[in-house]
Amino acid sequence: MLFTKWAIRSHCWSVRVERQRLYPGFAKRLQFPIRYLTFTPGARIDFNGLTLSCATTVHSVLNYTVRVDIAGKTPASFAVSGDGQITDETKQLVGDVGVLFQEIYCEKPEIPVHADLETVADWIKSSQVKQIVTSHFSRSAKAKLKKQVSSKTKSATRWVVARPGLEVIL
C-alpha cells in the first residue's frame, strides 16, 4: 500500500500524479497492479486479509494514526501513530492493539502538534496495548527520551525504542 500526504489531501488522484512526478516509469516496473483506495477516519477498508482503519491526530497538516488488523488463526493488530499528538479518537482506535508504533517527539506536552512521553505514558496505563515501539524523538531530547523509554520496565505495556533491524512480533 502506498500512503502519501498528497493522498490524504486529495485522495487517489494526487497519488497517481505524485507517483508519476517523483518516480517516472515506476508503475511499469512493478510485477503487480496498484490499487487506489480512499482512506477516511471512521471507515474500514478490507484489503487482502487486512482491515485498515484510521483516526486523525493533532498536527499542523492533516495526519492519521493507522490501525491494521490481521485476520487468521492467530489474529493480530498493530498501529502506526503518524506524526501528531494523540486524540480521544486515536486512543479509541488503538487502545487494544498488539503493537503501537508511536512517535514520542518531546518529554512534556510543550509542542501541541507532536506526541510527548508524559501524555502517551499516562494514557498507555489505561490502555490494553501490549507493546509500544517509540521513535521520532526530537534531536535535542533524543538521548534523554531513549533513556526514559528504556527505563519503563515496570509497565504492563512493553516499551521499546525503535532501531534499525528491530524485529517486532505481532
What residue ranges define each of the domains in the chain, with the CATH number in brackets?
Answer: 1-36 (no CATH), 39-161 (3.60.15.10)
Q: What is the pLDDT of residue 170?
A: 85
pLDDT of residue 96: 97
With a cut of 70, list the residues of the chain below it in pLDDT. Answer: 1-23, 27, 34, 36
Task: Name the residue with cell 474500514.
Answer: 44
Question: Which pLDDT score, from 0 to 100, does residue 16 have?
Answer: 53
pLDDT of residue 21: 58
State the cell numbers at 103. Answer: 512517535
pLDDT value at residue 52: 92
**What distance in Å separates the CA atoms of residue 74 and residue 111, rounded to the nearest whole number?**
39
Q: What pLDDT shows up at residue 124?
A: 94
Res 3: pLDDT:
43
Q: What is the pLDDT of residue 82?
A: 80
pLDDT reported for residue 147:
92
What is the pLDDT, as a whole number, of residue 144?
Answer: 92
Type of residue found at 72: G
Using CB atoms within 10 Å of the CB of residue 109, give its burial: 0 to 12 exposed, 13 to 18 middle, 19+ buried: middle
What's the angle, vertex CA 44, arms to CA 50 and CA 133, rounded to 5? 60
Residue 56, classed as helix, strand or coil, is strand
Q: What is the pLDDT of residues 116-157, one digit of tens each?
A: 999 999 999 999 999 999 998 999 989 999 999 988 878 889
Q: Are 62 and 5 in contact (CB under 8 A)?
A: yes
pLDDT attached to residue 38: 74
The pLDDT of residue 32 is: 73
